[in-house]
Amino acid sequence: MAGLAASFGSGAMTNSINEIAQAACILVTGSDTTSGHPVIALEVKKAVRNGGKLIVANPREIELCRYAGIWLRHAPGSDVALLMGMMRVIVDEKLADVAFIGEHCENFDAFRESLRNFGLDFVEKVTDVPSAKIAEAARIYATNKPATILYAMGITQHTHGTDNVLATANLAMLTGNIGKPSTGVNPLRGQNNVQGACDLGALPNVYTGYQRVDNPDVQNKFEIAWGCSLGSSPGLTLTEMLDAAHSGQIKAIYLMGENPVLSDPDAKHVQEALSKLEFFIVQDIFLTETAELADVVLPATSFAERDGTFTNTERRIQRVRKAVEPVGNAKPDWQIICQVAGRLGANGFDFEHPSQIMDEIASLTPSYGGVSYQRLEECGLQWPCPSKDHPGTPILHVDRFVRGLGRFTPLEYKPPAELPDEEYPLILTTGRSLYHFHTGTMTRKVSGLNAIEPHGVVEINPVDASSLKIADGHKVKVVSRRGEVICKAKVTKESPPKVVFMTFHFAESAANILTNPALDPVSKIPELKVCAVRIEEVQET
Amino acid sequence: MVICEKTEVTNLTIDGQQIAAESGMTIFEAATKVGIYIPSLCAHPTLPPSEECGLCLVEIEGEPEFVISCTTKAAENMVVHTETPELRQKQRQVLEKILSEHPNACLTCWRKERCQPFDVCLRNVAVTERCVTCPKNGRCELQEVADFLDIEAEPIPYKYRGLPVNRDNPFFDLDYNLCIACGRCVRACRDVRGMQTIDFTELNGYRVAGPVKANHKESECRFCGACVDVCPTGALMERCGKWQGLPEDSIITTCPYCGVGCQLILETKQDRIIRVAPVLENSVNQGQACVKGRFGIAEFVHHPRRLTMPLIRKNGELTEASWNEALDLLAEKLAGYKGDQFAFIASAKCTNEENYLAQKFTRMVMASNNIDHCARL
A306 contacts: CB under 8 Å, gap ≥ 6 = A320, A322, A326, A332, A333, A334, A354, B351
**Domain boundaries defined on chain A:** 2-188, 194-382, 426-537
Contact assessment for residue B66 and residue B89, using Cβ atoms and an 8 Å cutoff: no
Q: How far is A265 from chain B (nearest CA, A)?
A: 9
Closest CA relative to residue A280, chosen from A266, A292, A265, A264: A292
Q: pLDDT of B124-155, one tens digit each?
A: 777 777 777 788 888 899 989 988 998 875 66
b (16+ CB within 10 A) / e for A398-421: eeebbeeebbbbbbebeebbbebe
H-helix segments, A285-378: 333-343, 354-364, 373-376
Q: How many contacts does A have with B, using Cβ atoms within 8 A?
A: 456
Plot region of B285 (φ>0 → left; ψ -120 to 50 → alpha; else → beta): alpha
β-bridge partners, B165: B175
Q: How far is B65 from chain A (nearest CA, A)?
A: 34
Whole-number Å distance between alpha carbons of B214 and A195 = 42
Question: What pLDDT score does B375 carry?
Answer: 66
Question: What pLDDT score does B155 carry?
Answer: 67
Question: What pLDDT score does B3 carry?
Answer: 40
What is the CATH topology of the domain spanning B161-239?
Alpha-Beta Plaits (3.30.70)
* Mutation for A interface: B260, B269, B299, most A CBs within 10 A: B260
Residue of chain B whose alpha carbon sits nearest to that of A189: B259
Q: pLDDT of A194-203, one tens digit each?
A: 999 999 999 9
> Which residues in chain A have Cβ-Cβ distances shorter than 8 Å to B260?
17, 37-40, 312-313
* A281 close contact with B: CB closer than 8 A: yes
Terminal Cα distance for chain A, rounded: 48
Please state which CATH number belongs to domain B9-99: 3.10.20.740
Contact assessment for residue A294 and residue A264, using Cβ atoms and an 8 Å cutoff: no
The whole-angstrom distance between residue B214's C-alpha and the CA centroid of its chain comes to 26
Q: pLDDT of A375-390, one tens digit each?
A: 999 889 999 999 999 9
Closest CA relative to residue A428, chosen from A408, A403, A407, A458: A458
Q: Strands, E, within A356-425: which ranges?
A: 381-382, 406-407
- What is residue A408's DSSP assignment? -
Q: pLDDT of A186-238, one tens digit each?
A: 999 989 999 999 999 999 999 999 999 999 999 999 999 999 999 999 999 99
Q: Do B373 and A189 touch (CB under 8 A)?
A: no
Please state which CATH number belongs to domain B244-306: 2.20.25.90
> Which residues in chain A have Cβ-Cβ distances shorter than 8 Å to B256?
192, 302-303, 310, 442
Contact assessment for residue A457 and residue A502, using Cβ atoms and an 8 Å cutoff: yes
Q: pLDDT of B105-129, one tens digit each?
A: 777 777 777 777 677 777 777 777 7
Element (H, E) at A464: helix A462-467
A217 contacts: CB under 8 Å, gap ≥ 6 = none
Question: What pLDDT score does B132 carry?
Answer: 78
| Residue type present at position A145 | K
Question: What pLDDT score does A415 carry?
Answer: 93
Q: Do B369 and A204 touch (CB under 8 A)?
A: yes
Whole-number Å distance between alpha carbons of A284 and A262 = 15
Q: pLDDT of A106-162, one tens digit each?
A: 999 999 999 999 999 999 999 999 999 999 999 999 999 999 999 999 999 999 999
Closest CA relative to residue A349, chosen from B363, B361, B325, B324: B361
Residue A28: C-alpha distances to residues A62, A122, A499, A525, B97 (Å)? 11, 23, 20, 21, 48
Q: pLDDT of A426-460, one tens digit each?
A: 999 999 999 998 888 889 999 999 999 999 999 99
Whole-number Å distance between alpha carbons of A328 and B309 = 7
Helices A79-92 and A120-127: angle between axes, nearest 10 degrees: 160
A426-537 placed in CATH 2.40.40.20 = yes
Q: What is the mean pLDDT of chain B?
A: 91
* B190 close contact with A: CB closer than 8 A: no
Q: Which residue has the higher pLDDT, B23 or A265?
A: B23
Whole-number Å distance between alpha carbons of B289 and B267 = 15
Q: Do A448 and B295 touch (CB under 8 A)?
A: yes
Q: Do B259 and A38 touch (CB under 8 A)?
A: no
* A403 close contact with B: CB closer than 8 A: no
Q: Do A448 and B261 touch (CB under 8 A)?
A: no
Q: How far is A42 from chain B (nearest CA, A)?
A: 6
Q: Do A447 and B327 touch (CB under 8 A)?
A: no
Checking DSSP bridges between strand B9-14 and strand B17-22, what pairing results, if any? antiparallel
* Mutation for B interface: A15, A37, A42, A519, most B CBs within 10 A: A42
A194-382 shares the fold of A2-188: no
b (16+ CB within 10 A) / e for B340-375: bbbbbbbbbbbbbbbbbbbbbbbbbbbebbbbbbbb
β-bridge partners, B22: B9
Closest CA relative to residue A477, chosen from A390, A412, A538, A431: A538
Q: Which residue has the higher pLDDT, B262 or A538?
A: B262
Q: Residue A538: pLDDT above 70?
A: yes
Helices A131-143 and A79-92: angle between axes, nearest 10 degrees: 60
Cα angle A391-A393-A394, degrees, rounded to a multiple of 5 = 115
Which residues 178-207 on chain A approach chain B with CB closer than 8 angstroms? 181, 188-205, 207
Output the furthest CA–CA distance in chain A (Å, rounded). 69
Whole-number Å distance between alpha carbons of B139 and B245 = 8
Torsion of CA B226, B231, B236, B239, to 10 degrees: 70
DSSP helix/strand/coil, A529:
coil
Plot region of A110 (φ>0 → left; ψ -120 to 50 → alpha; else → beta): alpha
Question: What pLDDT score does B153 carry?
Answer: 59
Question: What pLDDT score does B2 carry?
Answer: 40
Torsion of CA A161, A166, A169, A173, to 10 degrees: -160
- What is residue A430's DSSP assignment? E
Question: What pLDDT score does B116 carry?
Answer: 73
Whole-number Å distance between alpha carbons of B180 and B141 = 11
Element (H, E) at A459: strand A457-460
CB atoms near residue A508 (< 10 Å):
9
> Which residues in chain B have Cβ-Cβ distances shorter than 8 Å to A379?
1, 263, 282-284
- What is residue A189's DSSP assignment? P
Question: What pLDDT score does B137 carry?
Answer: 84
Q: pLDDT of A510-520, one tens digit each?
A: 888 899 888 88
Q: What is the rounded average pLDDT of the residues A400-415?
A: 95
Of A250, A338, A379, the CB nearest to B341: A250
Question: What pLDDT score does A1 carry?
Answer: 60
Q: Do A241 and B343 touch (CB under 8 A)?
A: yes
Whole-number Å distance between alpha carbons of B374 and B348 = 7
Contact assessment for residue A160 and residue A518, using Cβ atoms and an 8 Å cutoff: no
CB atoms near residue A136 (< 10 Å):
17
Contact assessment for residue A283 and residue A255, using Cβ atoms and an 8 Å cutoff: yes
pLDDT band at B7 (very low <50, low <70, confident <90, very high): low
- What is residue A282's DSSP assignment? E
β-bridge partners, A474: none
Q: What is the mean pLDDT of chain A?
A: 94
Closest CA relative to residue B187, chosen from B197, B201, B202: B197
Whole-number Å distance between alpha carbons of A165 and B317 = 46
Whole-number Å distance between alpha carbons of B328 and B63 = 82
Q: How far is B338 from chain A (nearest CA, A)?
A: 9
Which CATH class for the A2-188 domain? alpha beta
Terminal Cα distance for chain B, rounded: 30
> Which residues in chain A have Cβ-Cβ distances shorter than 8 Å to B352?
193, 196-197, 199-200, 308-311, 317, 358, 361
Please state which CATH number belongs to domain A194-382: 3.40.50.740
Of B313, B330, B352, the CB nearest to A193: B352
> Which residues in chain A have Cβ-Cβ distances shorter than 8 Å to B284?
17-18, 39, 312, 314, 316, 379
Question: What pLDDT score does A467 carry?
Answer: 95
Which residues 319-348 on chain B approach chain A with CB closer than 8 angstroms? 323, 326-331, 333-335, 337, 340-348
Output the furthest CA–CA distance in chain B (Å, rounded). 90
Which residues 459-488 on chain A approach chain B with CB closer than 8 angstroms? none
Of A191, A202, A379, the CB nearest to B372: A202
CB atoms near residue A100 (< 10 Å):
17
Closest CA relative to residue A136, chosen from A175, A93, A76: A93
pLDDT band at B45 (very low <50, low <70, confident <90, very high): very high
**Domain boundaries defined on chain B:** 9-99, 161-239, 244-306, 311-376
pLDDT band at B277 (very low <50, low <70, confident <90, very high): very high
Rg of the Cα atoms in chain B: 27
Whole-number Å distance between alpha carbons of A460 and A470 = 9
